[in-house]
């Protein structure tokens, strides 16, 4: 008989990148083994929760310490991720969570959708969500096109190094959010620390690399021809792309691949897990918090601070989140598998919440798992 699951914390997996810096180590306490071949001045990514290829997060404490996320999923199945989630994803953990330190230019890039990724690579596409933890004065995010462009024009601009002229330029602020759908061309530069929540895929098509591609010492593989039919060439505006962190009006992002909500922890929060039927990931973006559960009749606490993550198994009983500092902010991430819609159901009529313990006001998103729109 397997032991009951508990809130899981993992050892970060650090990745060096040509555009990375040292802020994840200095400001977010992401430690690395000195024996590893890692350049501490160019750490671009900290993979917080992942099971992808050779990378699988290792539990850092408790009786499962030293076990990989894949091993735990293989043992606990739906108890870890939720029965409906397991039916859809089987032994693939469906979300990847990273912290990024973008010290200098990341490539102008795009990611394919599920259809193209499955057809060409037998893999998932890559939908992303960025939450800005901090941004320097010169930080910039380039996202989507200012105007509708043609594939030929875009190709030529990538080749002559002027493609940035086509993209929306955004000065990011702490707390800004960006939902980067597959097909959306994007880049960033100038000093940004952010949380990236994405599908379990690492398929990236580099389109322009800020002229690194023309230097034999810095050249990386490019994928312009491969990506040309993956791109959304429609126009967008900067104001339509920035999602402010709103803790009062429901999810920041709701898609088939993840639901992301910002929580402003002013008081203790009681989470009713049965309403999710999914794992829940919490990422601390400011302050610190304690996750309190009952184990063997005793209250046990699992704490995270800024930049920390914790995975709540689907089978866990109700629990409490207690702020340990003022102005503690969390991102809550979970997944609701898409269901077939009954032809006889009117999608415009929302189901009322029947949870007697829920006292949220009409029109608010509550943590019993219901979206209250009566």
By annotation, the residues acting in catalysis are 206
Cite the DSSP H helix spans in the chain: 23-28, 69-76, 78-81, 83-89, 114-121, 151-160, 224-227, 238-241
Residue 122 exposed, middle or buried by CB count within 10 Å (0-12, 13-18, 19+): exposed
Q: Are 129 and 177 within 8 A, CB to CB?
A: yes
Q: Identify the three-state secondary structure at position 300.
A: strand
Place of tokens 């009951």: 4
Report yes or no: 145 and 233 within 8 Å, Cβ to Cβ: yes
CA–centroid distance for 363 within its chain: 26
Q: What is the dihedral of CA 85, 90, 92, 97, to 10 degrees?
A: 10
**44: closest CA among 209, 231, 194?**
194
């Amino acid at each position: 008989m397997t032991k009951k699951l508990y809130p899981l914390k993992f050892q970060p997996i650090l990745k060096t990148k040509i555009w990375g810096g040292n802020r994840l180590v200095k400001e977010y306490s992401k430690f690395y083994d000195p024996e590893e071949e890692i350049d501490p001045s160019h750490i671009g990514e900290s993979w917080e929760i992942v099971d992808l290829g050779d990378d699988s997060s290792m539990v850092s404490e408790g009786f499962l310490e030293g076990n990989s996320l894949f091993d735990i999923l293989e043992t606990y199945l739906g108890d870890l991720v939720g029965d409906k989630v397991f039916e859809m994803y089987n032994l693939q953990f469906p979300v990847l969570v990273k912290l990024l330190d973008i010290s200098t230019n990341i490539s102008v890039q795009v990611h394919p959708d599920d259809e193209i990724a499955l057809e060409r690579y037998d893999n998932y596409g890559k939908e992303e969500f960025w939450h800005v933890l901090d941004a320097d004065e010169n930080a910039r995010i380039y996202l989507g096109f200012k105007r509708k462009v043609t594939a030929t024009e875009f190709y030529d601009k990538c080749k002559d190094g002027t493609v940035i002229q086509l993209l929306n330029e955004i000065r990011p602020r702490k707390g800004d959010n960006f939902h980067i759908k597959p097909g959306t061309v994007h880049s960033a530069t100038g000093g940004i620390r952010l949380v990236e929540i994405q599908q379990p895929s690492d398929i990236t098509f580099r389109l322009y690399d800020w002229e690194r591609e023309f230097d034999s010492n810095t050249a990386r593989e490019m994928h312009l021809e491969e990506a040309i039919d993956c791109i959304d060439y429609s126009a967008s505006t900067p104001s339509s792309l920035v999602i402010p962190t709103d803790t009062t009006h429901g999810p920041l992002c709701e898609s088939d691949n993840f639901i992301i909500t910002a929580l402003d922890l002013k008081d203790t929060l009681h989470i009713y897990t049965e309403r999710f039927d999914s794992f829940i990931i919490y990422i601390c973006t400011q302050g610190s918090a304690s996750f309190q559960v009952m184990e063997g009749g005793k209250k046990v606490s699992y704490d995270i601070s800024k930049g920390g993550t914790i995975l709540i198994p689907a089978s866990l009983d109700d629990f409490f989140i207690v702020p340990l500092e003022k102005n503690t902010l969390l991102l809550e991430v979970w997944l609701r598998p898409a269901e077939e819609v009954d032809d006889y159901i009117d999608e415009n009529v929302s189901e009322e919440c029947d949870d007697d313990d829920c006292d949220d006001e009409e029109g608010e998103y509550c943590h019993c798992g219901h979206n209250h729109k009566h």
